[in-house]
Amino acid sequence: MVSASNHDDSDDGDGPITVLTFDLEAERYCVRAAAVASVLGVADEQSIGSATDPWNAGTVTLAGERVRVIDLPRAFTAVSRTTARIADPKLLVFTATDADDAHYGWLVDDVDATRTVRQDRLEPTRTSTRLAHVKGRLEIDGDDVIWLDERTIHD
């Protein structure tokens, strides 16, 4: 597994923090880089992509470790819409594990790079309902980026 971050950034303050940016369809997102253990290519996502529950899309084994997969493109899409699959999805594998010691993994469309951002620049989202798993939004390199809280998604 390729490590995305080796240091432990805390998101409890207003100081700088390193985030990992990624894409889901036309939207750009980020998550704390310190929470991500590795980023992997997915050779065969067909069984994951056809799971009935995108929040529990199955389990894969990587380097002897079990990873419980959340299919984010499908989980974040309205039930009435069909999500178009890209040819080479990525799997973000998190350091956190569930009660069965399986790591959490998010299936995403593409992963960009880590960026250091200032937490005091985090703004509320522009929606009428506040989603618990959304910390807010930032502008990174001219793009509007939604910051996801992996801890609430994993709970």
pLDDT by residue, tens only, the chain of 155 residues = 433 333 335 555 667 999 999 998 888 999 999 999 999 887 665 556 667 788 888 888 888 888 999 888 888 875 544 555 666 788 999 998 988 899 999 999 899 989 999 888 888 776 544 566 788 899 998 889 999 989 888 87
Dihedral angle sign, alpha carbons of residues 120, 125, 131, 134: negative
At which residue do the structure tokens 């929470």 appear? 35
Q: In what order do the strands lie in the sheet with 65-71?
A: 36-41, 90-97, 103-108, 65-71, 59-62
pTM for the full predicted model: 0.79
The pLDDT assigned to 151 comes to 86
Please tell me the distance from the alpha carbon of residue 144 to that of residue 146, in angstroms, as a whole number: 7
